[in-house]
Amino acid sequence: MKKILIILSISFLVTSVTAKHTQGIPSPNELQIITDSIQNRISLIEKSSSEIVERVERIERTENNYVGMIVSLISVLVALGLLIITARNNIRTRNILETQIEEQKAVNRAQLRPVLHAYRTGWKEKTGLILINYGQGPAAINEIYFERNGTKAKSISELINLKAIDEDIWWDDKWTFTQNEYFLHSQQKEPLYMLTKEQLIKKYRKSEKESERIIKQVRAQRKDIVLVIKYSSLIDYDNQDGGQEYVYEMALDVKKKGNESLTPTTKNVG
C-alpha cells in the first residue's frame, strides 16, 4: 500500500512539473532545482505514506483486537450457557434418580413388611393362642403384653390363675416376654399360651370330663383380656428415626365383636 501511494504521488509530481516547463527547455540549474524539489517531495510523500500506513495498521490491529475480544466474550458466554444447562440437567437427573430410589425403597418396604396376627386354637381338646407372621419380611417385636381393665401382664398366667381352677395343673406352654426385642420370621409361629386335654390326662391324671371342664373354665376367664403386640419391620430396625412401629390388638374373648379383625394402627417412632 505504501509503494502504491509513492508511485501515485511521483506520477502526479512529474506530470505537474512537465506541464509547467513544456513551454521551454530548463537550464542545468533549473534541472538541479527541479530534481532536488522532486527528491524532497518524494521524501515527504514517503514520510506521509509511512504515517498513513502505520495509522491503517493501528486501525486494523485495533479492529482485530476488538474482534478477538468479541469472539472471546461470545465463547465465554456460550461455555457458561452450556455449563448452566449441563448443571440443570444433572440436578434434574439426580432428583429423578433419588425419587426413583425412594419409591423403590418404599415398594421394597411394603413387600417385606411383617404382618403379625394371633389366632385362637382348639375347642374341647385344647385352648391356646398362636402368634404368626403372615408378612414377607421378619418382624422385630418390641413388646408383647396382655391387658385387662388397665392391668398389664407379660404372661397370660398373671391374668388367668390356673391354680384357682385346679391347684395341680399348669400350662403346657406360655410365653413371658422379657426380651428387649424378639425377631419373628415370615410364616414363623410361636405359642403365646397352650393348655391341652391330652396333657391334663397324661401328666396330671385328670379324667376326660375333668379336663374338658378345666379347659372350659380357662376360656371363661379370657373375658375382657386384650393382647397387645408392638413391633416394627426389620428393614427399619437400624433406622429408627424413619421407621414405624405397628401396634396389633386382639380381644381374647370369642364372643367380643370385631375381635377377629386385624386392624393394626401405626405411629412414627422417635
Q: Is pLDDT of 27 > 60? A: yes
Who wins on pLDDT, 256 or 183? Answer: 183
pLDDT tens for 241-251 read 456 889 999 99
Lowest-pLDDT range of 24-38, 57-71, 129-143: 24-38
Alpha carbon distance, N-terminus to C-terminus of the chain: 88
Query: What's the rounded Cα separation, in Å, for the pair 110 and 138?
Result: 12
pLDDT of residue 169: 95
Q: Is the pTM of this model over 0.85?
A: no
Q: Is pLDDT of 178 > 80? A: yes
Report residue 198's pLDDT band, with 50, 70 and 90 as the boundaries: very high
Query: What's the rounded Cα separation, in Å, for the pair 220 and 200?
Result: 18
Query: What's the rounded Cα separation, in Å, for the pair 199 and 205?
Result: 9
17: buried, middle or exposed (CB in 10 Å: 19+, 13-18, 0-12)?
middle
Mutual angle of helices 2-20 and 28-111, in 10-degree steps:
160
Per-residue pLDDT, averaged over 197-201, amounts to 94
pLDDT of residue 91: 92
Q: Is pLDDT of 260 > 50? A: no
Mean pLDDT highest for which of 5-9, 48-52, 197-201, 264-268?
Answer: 197-201
The percent of residues in the chain predicted with pLDDT above 70, rounded, is 72
Q: Is pLDDT of 191 > 90? A: yes
Q: Is pLDDT of 8 > 60? A: no
pLDDT of residue 235: 73
